Amino acid sequence: MKRYLLPGVLVVLALAYPLLVGDLPVYGRLGALVLLAAIGASAWNIVGGYAGQVSVGHAVFFGFGAYASVVVYTHLGWPPITGAPIGMVLSVALAAAIGVPTLRLSGHYFSMATIAVGELVRVLSSTSDFLGGAQGLGGPAMPRTVFDLSFISATPFYYIFLGVLTFLLGLTWMIERGRMGFYLRAIKDSERAARSLGVSAGRYKLYAYMLSGAFSALAGSLYLCMFGFVDPESGFGILISVKMVVMAALGGAGLLFGPLVGALILVPLEEFSNSLFGGQGAGFTFMIYGAIIVIIARFLPSGLLSLFNRRSTRHVD
């Protein structure tokens, strides 16, 4: 019974959070922002953490999701959320197109190739009139129906994001437990050894990449629904890719709850330091943010969860 106590308390806390902070819109929104960041980082975690393929170009998928949502609104007048499945399907196809040439690369070469592809897509998106060019595109200015998801309160977003994250983590958990998870870990430890055992490394890496891309796109669509605007920088910018990596790595990459823990630390840190120091215009926000990341990396290079989860230290290469 006792071992269910802590998880139980955490689940209740997660469900009740919006009610606890009901009168403080900033905190309600903060909860939603944490969950949204956790969705993106958890999606990245499938290929970056479990399979050990460190993509620094996941903004490509995030941007595809965001743009798919805003494009169905702009060109067809549909509610943005209807673009989510379109963005996910497109991202799976795109992941195949990017993954086939790049996933053969090892280590840092893969990371650099994904950066290049990300920048490529960003530049191209800014030249496309269909995507609103460099000006970007805005979602519905005023809500038309409830399906536009233009809520004043962040609470509906919170529960939508919580649902998506739960689904994604459940799926990841199943993969982790199943054959694919076994293969991915084998590939991460030693691709050559995995191949010699008959694992089709290329195929499983690609599956992981496609799945990861699909959920990154979903994160992008949800972002668009909440913020109502995307331009090349906020959709495809390299900072979006880097933040996904940093969040997962900070919490513990390749661990189910690693990205969520990373988001729980970094998102409030970013918001609070900006709220406290941003107005002075002296750059303290990012000095503090950077320094805390450095300190965590210095003392816990395998992520925060390595403190509690001794098993994770085994994965250190």
Partner 1 sequence: MTTQTRRTLAAGAALLTLGIAGGALAQAPVKIGVIYPLSGNSATAGNYSKMALEVGAEVINNGDADLAKIMPLAKGGGLPGLKGAKIQLVFADNQGTPAAGQNQALRLISEEKVAALIGAYQSGITLTASAIAERHGIPFVNGESVAANLTERGFKWFFRTTPVALDFARAYSSFLKEQKAAGRKTDTIALVHENTEYGNSVASVIADQFAKDGLNISQKIAYSANSSDVQPQVLQLKEKNPDVLIFISYTSDAILYTKTMKELNWKPGIMIADNAGFNDPAFVKSLASQVEGLVNRSAFSAGKPGSVPDLFNALYKKKTGGDDLDDVSVRGLQAFLVLADALNRAGGTEPAKIQAALKATDLKADQMVAGYDGVKFDDKGQNVLAASVVTQMRAGKYVTIAPKARATHEAILPYKGW
Partner 2 sequence: MSSTLVQVIVSGLLLGAVYALFSSGLTLIWGMMNVVNFAHGDFVMLGMYSAVMVWTALGGGPFAAVPIAAMMIGTLGVASYFLLVRHIMKGPMLAQILGTFGLALFLRYAAFWYFGANFKTLPDTIVGGSFELMGIRFEGSRVLAGVMGLAVTLALHLILTRTAVGSRMLAVSEDATAAQLMGIRPQRMQALAWCMAGAATGIAGALIANFFYTSPTVGETLAILAFVTVSFGGFGSVLGALVAGLIIGVVESLSAYLVGPVYKDVIVYILFVLVLWFRPQGLMGKA
Taking the complex as a whole, how short is the minimal distance between the CB of residue 292 and partner 2, in angstroms?
7
Q: What is the DSSP letter of 11?
A: H
**Residues near partner 1, by CB under 8 A:** 22-26, 29, 33, 123, 126-127, 133-136, 138, 141-142, 146, 150-153, 155-156, 223, 227-231, 233-234, 271, 274-275, 278-281, 283, 285-286
Nearer to partner 2, 28 or 259 (CB): 259
Q: Which is nearer to partner 1, 176 or 271 (CB)?
A: 271
Phi-psi region of 228 (alpha: psi -120 to 50; beta: other; left: phi over 0): left
Give the integer Cα–Cα distance in Å for 41 and 44.
5
CA distance 262 to 259: 5
Residue 258: closest CA among 34, 57, 9, 49? 49
The listed partner (partner 1, partner 2, none) that binds 268, CB under 5 to 8 Å by sort, is none
The CA distance from 99 to 209, in Å, is 7
Q: Considering the complex, what minimum distance in angstroms separates the CB of residue 192 from partner 2? A: 13
- In the complex with partner 2, the residue whose CB is nearer, 64 or 157, is 64
Q: Annotate 216-249 with DSSP letters as a single string.
A: HHHHHHHHHHHH-EE-HHHHH-HHHHHHHHHHHH
Shortest reach from residue 9's CB to partner 2, in Å = 29
Nearer CB in complex with partner 2: 178/283? 283
Cα(32)–Cα(156) distance, integer angstroms: 9
Residues that bind partner 2 (CB under 8 A): 48, 54, 56, 101-102, 104-109, 111-113, 115-117, 119-120, 123-124, 126-127, 238, 242, 245-246, 248-250, 253, 281-287, 289-299, 301-302, 315-317
| Residue appearing with tokens 């809500």 | 143
User: Which of partner 2, partner 1, none interacts with 231 (beta carbon under 5 to 8 A by kind)?
Assistant: partner 1
